[in-house]
Structure 1
Amino acid sequence: MLKKRRKQNKRRSLIVRENPRSPVSEQFRTIRTNIQYASVDQDMQAIMTTSSGPEEGKTTVNANLAETIAQQNEKVLLIDADMRKPTMQYMFYLANHTGITNVMTGQRDLQDVIETTGNEALDVVTCGPIPPNPSELLGSQKMKDIIQEARTLYDYIVIDTPPVLAVTDAQIVAGMSDGVLLVVASGETEKEEARKATDLLKQTNAKMLGAVLNRQERKNSNYMYYYGD
């Protein structure tokens, strides 16, 4: 069991922190720059990331993106709002005993569940106990209040949500966010699925920042453009 846990943690490593000069890390910096350009005419403080389906690498993309933004000395809060299958705790070797679900249910204040990471500019809020009613919690006024409070404390908020085609959670959070990124896995995500996911997200009137093509292999290289789960 211990060996399996270590393997999982290694597989979900923060490549932008461990190998900042790699081509993969450079691509994350490109995503960061594109987001900053997108904020010229509109505030892009709260960024939500989702995927069309499971196992497309959205959590790894989210964590590396948040770390990349924080490397510019921007204060970043990374929130795991995937209350169906939370995995952000594995990215940062954190416990998941308390988290955002405890804040939503009034058991904790936001600042009580904020976890520090190896980067002083990056903080994380894990999911916490998995609730029986994720969609209702995410659509509550309390979730809006949490995001609003985070806006007063951080320069950027990066929110990880479940796949958009599986449940309505991502659509709910998209309506509270300034911009949305859709992660698609090269050679795995069907075009129709990506198109349907985009259409569903657009219905929330959220600004689509674009798609992150994950796991695309580079020719004559052992690296990938984007790191995957």
Structure 2
Amino acid sequence: MAFDWFRKKPSTDSIDNGVKLITVAHPTSPTSEEFRTIRTNIHFMSVDHEIKTVAFTSAHQSEGKSTVTANVAVTWALEGKKVLFIDADMRRPTIHKTFGLSNRQGLTTILSSHDSQIRLDTFIQKSGIDNMSILTSGPIPPNPSELLSSERMNTFVQSVRNAYDIVVLDVPPILEVPDTQVLSAHLDGLVLVVREGKTRKDDVARTVDMLRLSKTNILGYVMNDHKGKNSGYGYGYGYGYTSDK
């Protein structure tokens, strides 16, 4: 597999327009079935270790993590789970665009508040999908790294963990924002999104090493834009990572 030896400017399409909710628009399509398979595989990982807080990330920007996160979150809601979907990617938020919601307040508002008690219903919005609630990122703050890695963020995630069947977070790319490691270590699990033909193998290795150092529970990886036998593009799920060529 060949890679460009220079990195192109990340696409802004998901920031400008949101991501495609294939699981809503085409629920019976093969791609939607692949997202349901990802959900099912994560269920299998929870036999001995309950998974109620899970994040999806990538090595770098524009590798498809927000599309994967949103669609897998939808499959949980359609399954009947009570879902809270949190946009924790404060620099490049997409969820409010995807669901057509206001982003005047959200996660950053909660984390930057000095109030000891916060009414979540003030910030959590309806997604338009049964069983699924949304917490947008809120206004882009001057200190996203400090907010994301704060003890207040960890406390908040643990509090909503008890109120929902599953809490899904779209978090910043690991190699772009190192403090994502701090948050991920406090979650039940993390899934790494890899884009075929774009994500470099050495970047995947670095990402996995960083997550292992923080003792993050890596549930597996999603291969985005995987070209199959029929020349179609889809998603594949796997476990672990090997550096073998």
Q: 2:233 aligns with which of 217, 224, 228?
A: 224
Q: Look up the SS of the partner of 2:226 in the other structure.
A: coil
- The CA distance in 2 between the partners of 1:12 and 1:167, in whole Å, is 21
Q: Look up the SS of the partner of 2:36 in the other structure.
A: helix
Aligned-residue sequence identity (percent) comes to 43
Unmatched runs of 5 consecutive residues or more in structure 1: none
Deviation of 1:19 (Å): 0.5
In the alignment, is the contact (CA less than 8 A) between 1:110 and 1:146 conserved in 2?
Answer: no
Q: Look up the SS of the partner of 1:153 in the other structure.
A: coil
Q: Look up the SS of the partner of 2:233 in the other structure.
A: coil
In the alignment, is the contact (CA less than 8 A) between 1:81 and 1:161 conserved in 2?
Answer: yes
1:81-96 matches, cutoff 5 A = 81-96=88-103
Aligned residue pairs, count: 222
* Structure with more helix by fraction: 1
Which letter maps to 2:122?
D
Which letter maps to 2:53?
A
Aligned position for 1:120:
130
Aligned position for 2:27:
20
Question: Higher relative CO (CA 8 A, sep ≥ 6), structure 1 or 2?
Answer: 1
In the alignment, is the contact (CA less than 8 A) between 1:162 and 1:169 conserved in 2?
Answer: no
- The CA distance in 2 between the partners of 1:110 and 1:173, in whole Å, is 20
1:1-229 matches, cutoff 5 A = 9=17, 12-106=19-113, 109-220=119-230, 223-226=232-235
Deviation of 1:94 (Å): 1.2
Question: 1:5-35, CA deviations, whole angstroms, 9 ceiling, x for partnerless residues?
Answer: 99x53x7220011101111111111111111
Instruction: Return the TM-score normalized by structure 1.
Output: 0.91
Which letter maps to 1:105?
S
- The CA distance in 1 between the partners of 2:223 and 2:162, in whole Å, is 32
Deviation of 1:219 (Å): 3.0
Deviation of 1:201 (Å): 1.0
Deviation of 1:226 (Å): 3.0
